[in-house]
Amino acid sequence: MAVNPTAGAGRGRVVATVLHDRLRRAGHRVTDLSGTDGAATAARLAARHDLEALVVVGGDGMVHLGAGATAGTGTPLGVVPVGTGNDFAAVLGLPDDPLEAVDRVVRALHDGTARTVDAIEVTGPHDPPRWVAGAVSAGLDAAVSARALGMRRPRGAARYTVAALAEIARFRAWDYALELTGLVDDGGLPGLTVHDDASATWQGRAAMVTAANIARIGGGIRVAPHALVDDGLLDVLVASVTSRTAAASIFPAMYAGAHTRRRDVHLLRARAVTIRPAPGTPASAGPPVAHGDGEALAALPLTARAVAGALHVLTSA
């Protein structure tokens, strides 16, 4: 197991004790692989290839670490949500009561039941491949994540809201060049060039480019309301919003998923997307560092690819 003791205002530590006890009583050998921070935990997880299963306790940041350690390996992943943002757990219908979630994990391990879902493999020219469970953000939502990660106060969901207000206040749209493969829905995006082999290219100005495996990010923002976690596809949101006023109205609309009714918001569906700054964009004016599951990934360019069935999430039928 791996725990973020700070998640949920310290609830992570308490829930982890219960989980540890329940797993031991069920006859499992339990190793606590939690580090002193996210990077230390990731390093400890990367060194273990012998786990029967990995159970993470925390928010979407811990799901990110768990996906990184288990995606594509066949090792089942258990999730006990105690964070502020528990989007992955919510989308999978896991109990939001952490003690019920512990029960579910213990029962799934006993019964050998797991749900097979997709994950996003992220590759770029400079960094090793990374796995993302929820969504890859490369626009305003990435800037908000970066700011929220750097803030100590306020805690909880309010931190994301404060970060969003600050980023909207200094917002300027970015110029992107996108390449999509395995396109099955063009989302009505003007200027998209679609080729016979189901690839497509687009260049333009946008506030958000987000490749989503699940419907929600940031603790309930319904960024891609119809995204399915097991369709082998990414829902790619392109918000061709260029003014600060429009950016300010789009963010609150996303909580209800109402942004998709706007004519300048497009949801495409494809197997993979490569996201670059448009040619000629000076580095100082380029899009922000991409984030995945609310964690920093890498500067653009990057390719996000849906990998069908990469994750086996412990849950009972």
Ligand X SMILES: Nc1ncnc2c1ncn2[C@@H]1O[C@H](COP(=O)(O)OP(=O)(O)OP(=O)(O)O)[C@@H](O)[C@H]1O
Which residues are at the interface with ligand X (CB under 6 A)?
A: 4-8, 34-38, 41, 58-62, 83-85, 156, 295
From CA 117, how far away is CA 133, in angstroms rounded? Answer: 9
From CA 253, how far away is CA 3, in angstroms rounded? Answer: 33
From CA 89, how far away is CA 96, in angstroms rounded? Answer: 8
Our CB check for ligand X shows the closer of 15 and 224 to be 15
Closest CB 295 distance from ligand X, rounded Å: 5
Closest CB 206 distance from ligand X, rounded Å: 26
Our CB check for ligand X shows the closer of 61 and 139 to be 61
Closest CB 245 distance from ligand X, rounded Å: 30
How do beta strands 114-123 and 302-314 pair? antiparallel
Contact 235, 268 (CB under 8 A): yes
Our CB check for ligand X shows the closer of 32 and 100 to be 32
Contact 306, 272 (CB under 8 A): yes
Task: Give CB contacts under 8 A, 24+ apart, made by 152-159.
Answer: 155/9, 155/84, 156/9, 156/84, 157/84, 157/85, 157/219, 157/220, 159/84
Our CB check for ligand X shows the closer of 36 and 284 to be 36
From CA 102, how far away is CA 144, in angstroms rounded? Answer: 31
Query: Which DSSP letter does residue 166 get?
Result: H
Closest CB 155 distance from ligand X, rounded Å: 6
Our CB check for ligand X shows the closer of 51 and 296 to be 296
CA neighbours within 13 Å on the CB side: how many for 29? 3
Our CB check for ligand X shows the closer of 71 and 250 to be 71
From CA 131, how far away is CA 188, in angstroms rounded? Answer: 29
Contact 136, 210 (CB under 8 A): yes
How do beta strands 77-81 and 54-58 pair? parallel
Closest CB 145 distance from ligand X, rounded Å: 10
Q: How far, in Å, are 43, 58, 283, 288 from residue 73 at the CA level?
A: 17, 22, 36, 31
Our CB check for ligand X shows the closer of 59 and 182 to be 59
Our CB check for ligand X shows the closer of 34 and 315 to be 34
Closest CB 5 distance from ligand X, rounded Å: 6
Query: Which DSSP letter does residue 21 get?
Result: H
Closest CB 262 distance from ligand X, rounded Å: 29
Q: Length of the chain in residues, anyone? A: 317
Our CB check for ligand X shows the closer of 246 and 289 to be 289
